[in-house]
Structure 1
Amino acid sequence: IAQCIASHGGNWLESRMSRMAGQFAGILRVAVPAEGYDELVEGLQGLSSHGIRVLLAESGIEPVCNWKPIHLDLVGNDRPGIVRDITRLLAEHGVNLESLSTEVRPAPMSSEPLFHADALLAVPLTLSLDTLRERLEDLADDLMVELVLDAS
């Protein structure tokens, strides 16, 4: 991918990539001169012959920042639906996920599966952190989840 971008005059600006369960996925942002755009698109789509699937989308203008970044650290007993319940509550309050990393690993003493999540939230400027904290803590009591919100 990097070779293809460079050979078409593109500039790799930023990326997030990860390997999980034998698969590799990434998202990246590239700048390319207008005259090289079509050739770059063709080159990236041609990577399918090497088993690389590429989905292309043009980036838009970044919206005005009307949110504050908040770090969420979550640990609790694993169970089906835990991510759904947390994200539903966040969405109900207009909170977006900027990044999310999750894993399940055994608890130190009992070896019971513990769910761990680390997220960067985009919290609306109009939403009180106390209100968000209260709602999450109410949900955490139901889920046996510990939450830590820190202004980043």
Structure 2
Amino acid sequence: MIGAVAKAAPDARIDGVILQHMVPEGLEIVIGARIDPAFGPLVLVGLGGVLVELMADSVTAPAPVSQSQALDMLSKLRAAPLLDGFRNMPPVDRDALARIIVRVSEFATDHADKIAELDINPVICHGSNTVAADALIVLKRT
């Protein structure tokens, strides 16, 4: 791998490295938002990671949502029983996950004039540990 990089960019200078801790295995969730021209800001939650397209298990609501609305969105997922723990996985902290949904919905509402969509996928949930592993914000074209 290093040889390939050296060939591709022989004059590159490396000033340091970034180290990041490994996120433990957990339930992968997607949290996203988009600005619909007819309905305005919408927030989405569903199974994340590679299961997004495969399982097509998501719930969408107009943004912003409250904590109780976010919890209700989680309960409407077909995979909601996975949130309660499965096999050796601990139950997901639903309140913490719902707070992230609320914040994403508020962000989408507050910046509806600037963003087209945003996607946090996956949010890896393992008990009370909830980590966003990847995120993307797409700006509106001007």
TM-score interval, smaller chain: under 0.3
> What TM-score do the two structures reach when normalised by structure 2?
0.26
**Who wins on radius of gyration, i.e. which is larger?**
1
> What TM-score do the two structures reach when normalised by structure 1?
0.25
Question: Which has the higher relative contact order, 1 or 2, with Cα contacts under 8 A spaced 6 or more apart?
Answer: 2
